[in-house]
Amino acid sequence: MLGDFFMERTAYMIAITDNLLETQLRDQLLRIEPVISGVILRLPWHEERLADFIQLLLDGGFNKDKLIIHSNCRLLEHYQLSRIHFRAGDPKGFDMKKSRPDVTVSMAVHSAAECPALKAAQIDYGIFSPLFATPSKPGVQLRTDEEITQALAAGLPLIALGGITTETVSQLPSGFVTIAGIRLFQQDNATLQAIKEVLLSKRMT
């Protein structure tokens, strides 16, 4: 299912929300929707506020199929969403995939050792990080070339995350299905389109 999605939308990208005011975040997501394949709604908000924001996006015409709820199974069901993301190793992610195989389930991945279990559980893809230094997590240990090679060899579709910019995108190893980011998507659409062209040239999918 995920493979077909990315094959049809080669080198599209996954946005992850920053904690902005609702109207600012809505406007940002509506602007970048044409150049993303999904957005993970990772927000430190209570459920009612998050539900109101989802409705705000939908009322603005945002494509529901591109919404990826973070961990909240109730809102997934309420809005009949098709995609959900979980923290690394969250048992709810494995339970969701087992009970709802029709739902696209993704999970954070921080080591190559985590990949075989996710593949065995038929988790659709992992978001593998961090690849490059990022101001949001100063001093965090980056994945080594060996770890990246081992993770990609596990056969689990992986999306690259962490410090991806217009400067670092060309340094990404081949094998990732696409990229994800937070600050990256605060760029204008022309810059995002240029990054997409780099991904296309690398044939990441």
Question: How far is C-alpha 4 from the chain's CA centre?
Answer: 16
CA distance 165 to 124: 25
How confident is the prediction along the chain (205 residues), in pLDDT tens digits per residue? 444 444 444 457 999 998 888 999 999 999 999 889 999 999 999 999 999 999 999 999 999 999 999 999 999 999 999 999 999 999 999 999 999 999 999 999 999 999 999 999 999 999 999 999 887 777 888 999 999 999 999 999 999 999 998 889 989 988 998 899 998 998 998 899 888 888 887 754 4
- Residue 109: the pLDDT is 97
- Residue 203: the pLDDT is 57
CA distance 151 to 160: 11
> How many CB atoms lie under 10 A from the CB of residue 189?
14
Report the candidate in 62, 55, 21, 59 with the shortest Cα–Cα distance to residue 38: 62
Structure token pair of residue 5: 């999605």
- Residue 134: the pLDDT is 83
Domains of the chain are: 2-202 (3.20.20.70)
Cβ–Cβ < 8 Å for 118, 107 = yes
pTM (2 decimals)? 0.91
Angle (nearest 5°) at CA 91 between 162 and 102: 85
Q: Give CA separation, 197 vs 37, 98, 204, in Å.
A: 15, 36, 11
